Structure 1
Amino acid sequence: MPGAAAVRVAVDGPDVAAPGDLAAAVAERLPALGRPAVVVLAGGFLRPASVRLEHGRTDPDARYTDWLDAGALAREVLDRVGPGGPAEYLPVLWDVARDRAARAAYRPMPPRGVLLVPGPLLQGVGLAFDVVVHLRVAPAARRRRFPAEQAWELPVFDRYDDEVDPVALADAVVLADRPEHPALVLQGRFS
C-alpha cells in the first residue's frame, strides 16, 4: 500500500479454525520471500472484563458487540502502520488474564513488512485491513467442533454470518470445516 509501513492482513475466523496458528505459519514463511512479518493477536485488544462481561460471561450479544476494542486496535496498530502512520505498533493493549493494561511498548514495524492480525469477528467493524482472509467454518461444523463450554458462542457466529457476511467481504476464504484438509478460495481482486 503506498505510504504504508506494512500490508495489514486480517486472519478472521472463530477460535476452532485456529486463525492464530495460520497467521504464525504465514509469518514464519514470509521472510524467505523478502517480507518480514509481525503477528498481533486481536485477543490482546479485548475490552476490560467490566465492559466485556457486564451482561454476564455467556451473553452472545455482548460477545458480538462488546468484547473487541476495535477502536484501540485501529488506533494502536492498524493506523500506526498504515499510510501516514509512524511505522510502529503496540503488540498488546490489555492483559485479559490479569484484567489490566499490558503496558507494552511500541515496536517498530519492519520496512516492507506484513502485519497479520488473527482473531474472530474482525470484519464489519470498520478496521482498515488491506487484505482479509476469512477462515470459514460452516454452522454444522462449528456445532461439532466448538467445545461444550463455548457452545454459548455459536449464535454469535451465526449472527456474524447473517449480518456481516464475512465470506462475501473477504479477499480470500479458507474453507476450514476440516482443519486437516483446508481449501483456499480466492475472490475479489485475487480471483
Structure 2
Amino acid sequence: MRITPVSPDLLVEEITDLVAGRAGRVRLALDGPPPSGPVALAERVAVQLRALGRAVLVVAATDFLRPASVRLEYGREDPDEFLEGWLDEAGLRREVLGPAGPDGSGRVLPRLWDAATDRAYRDGYTELPADGVVVLAGALLLGRGLPFDVSVHLRMSSAALARSLADGEQWTLPAYDRYDVERDPAAAADLLVLADHPDRPAIRRVERR
C-alpha cells in the first residue's frame, strides 16, 4: 500500500479532479468524523468545481437527521443508534440523491431537518443542472447502500479521534469503531484520506479491479 502525503490544497485538487472528469450530474460523498472537517473540505472543493464551471450544492448530513422522537428513542448517548438510526437515509434518497441522479428531476432540497430546534427547515428546492454536483458531507455515510458516484473517506485512527472529539462527543467513539469494522469505509471509498492530522493529510487511491 503506497501512502502519499499531500497538502490540504493538493487534497482539494485531488478530490476536484475525481469529479471534474465526469460528465453529467455527480453525487460526491465526503465521509469523515467531525474533527476531520468534511463540511469545510466540501466547501473548498465546491469553490474549485465552480471555478471550472460546474454548479455545486453542498449538503451537510447533519441537516438530514431523523426527528428526536425517533433518533433519541434509546437515549441521547446510544452509540449503536448513533451509527444505525440517526441519519435519515430515506430523506436523503428522496430529496437529494435520487433527484441528483442521472435520471432524477434535478430538484434538490438543501436541508430537511433542524436537529437543534427539532423542526423541519423551510428551504426551497434548488434546481441542479444536467452537469451539476451534489456534495454530501458528514460522518458514517458509507456502507449504507446510498447512491454515490464518487466517495472519499477521511479516516482518523481511534486514538486520534479520541484526542480530537469534544468531551460531549466521546460517547460516539464505539460507533466509529463499529463503522470501521463492519462497514469498512476505507475499502468502499474511491479515495482514502488519512486524516489523523487534518493539516497534514495523506492519500491512498483505491484501485478497482
* TM-score, reference length from structure 2: 0.86
2:43 counterpart of 1:24:
yes
Corresponding residue to 1:6 among 25, 34, 41: 25
CA-based RMSD: 1.6
Corresponding residue to 2:95 among 55, 76, 79: 76
Per-residue deviation, 1:102: 1.0
Is contact 1:5-1:87 (8 Å) kept? no
SS in 1 for 2:175: helix
2:109 counterpart of 1:90:
yes
Report how many aligned residue pairs link the two structures. 188
Instruction: Say if 1:184 and 1:152 are closer, same or farther in 2 by CA, change over 3 A.
Output: same
2:75 counterpart of 1:56:
yes
SS in 1 for 2:176: helix
The residue that corresponds to 2:179 in the other structure is 160
Distance 1:26 1:17 in 2: 15
Point out where structure 1 has 5 or more consecutive residues left out of the alignment.
none
Distance 1:76 1:56 in 2: 28
SS in 1 for 2:99: helix
Point out where structure 2 has 5 or more consecutive residues left out of the alignment.
1-18
Q: Deviations over 1:72-100 (max 9, x none)?
A: 10111000010211111001110111101
Letter of the structure 2 residue corresponding to residue 91 of structure 1: P
Distance 1:140 1:101 in 2: 36
The residue that corresponds to 2:6 in the other structure is none
SS in 2 for 1:84: coil
SS in 2 for 1:184: strand
Q: Deviations over 1:15-52 (max 9, x none)?
A: 11110010001001112222221101111110001111
Distance 1:136 1:103 in 2: 33
2:123 counterpart of 1:104:
yes
The residue that corresponds to 1:174 in the other structure is 193
